[in-house]
Structure 1
Amino acid sequence: MLRIEEATISDFPIITELFEHLIKEICLRTNSSPNLFIVSGTMDKCKHYLESGIYKVFKAIDENNEQTIGFLSLCESYSLYANGNFGIIQEFYVHPEYRSKGVGSKLLFSAKEYGGGKYWKRLEVATPPLPEFDSTVSFYENNGFEITGGRKMKLTIE
Structure 2
Amino acid sequence: MNQIQFLQVGKDDAKEIAALTGELLQEIMQKTGQAAFCFDEHETVQRLREFIAEGHYRVIAAKIDRQFIGFASLYPSYALYAEGHFGTLAEFYVKPEYRRKGVGKMLIQKVVDYGCTQGWKRLEVTTPSLPEFDQTLAFYQREGFEITGGRKLKRLLETA
TM normalised by structure 2 equals 0.93
Q: Give, in angstroms, the shift of residue 107 of structure 1.
A: 1.1
Quote the residue 1:121 is aligned against: 121
Partner amino acid for 1:18? Answer: L
**RMSD (Å) for aligned C-alpha atoms:** 1.0
Contact 1:94–1:103 (Cα < 8 Å) also in 2: yes
Q: Give, in angstroms, the shift of residue 129 of structure 1.
A: 4.3
Contact 2:28–2:128 (Cα < 8 Å) also in 1: no
Contact 2:32–2:129 (Cα < 8 Å) also in 1: no
Contact 1:129–1:151 (Cα < 8 Å) also in 2: no
Matching of residues 1-150 of structure 1 within 5 Å: 1-33=3-35, 36-40=36-40, 41-62=43-64, 65-150=65-150
Q: Hey, which bits of structure 1, 4+ residues long, moved more than 6 A?
A: none
State the SS of the aligned residue for 1:131: coil
Q: Provide the rounded CA distance (Å) in 1 between the counterparts of 2:153 and 2:88.
A: 15
Q: Provide the rounded CA distance (Å) in 2 between the counterparts of 1:128 and 1:92.
A: 11
State the SS of the aligned residue for 2:133: helix
State the SS of the aligned residue for 2:150: coil
Q: Give, in angstroms, the shift of residue 2 of structure 1.
A: 1.0
Contact 1:12–1:50 (Cα < 8 Å) also in 2: no
Residues 15-42 of structure 1 show CA distances to partners (whole Å, capped at 9, x for unaligned) of 0000000000000000011xx2232311
Q: Give, in angstroms, the shift of residue 131 of structure 1.
A: 1.3
Structure 2, unaligned stretches of length 5 or more? Answer: none
State the SS of the aligned residue for 1:86: strand
Identity of aligned residues (%): 45
State the SS of the aligned residue for 2:70: strand
Partner amino acid for 1:4? Answer: F
Contact 2:20–2:70 (Cα < 8 Å) also in 1: yes
Q: Give, in angstroms, the shift of residue 154 of structure 1.
A: 0.4
Residues 63-108 of structure 1 show CA distances to partners (whole Å, capped at 9, x for unaligned) of xx32110000000000000001000000011000000111111111
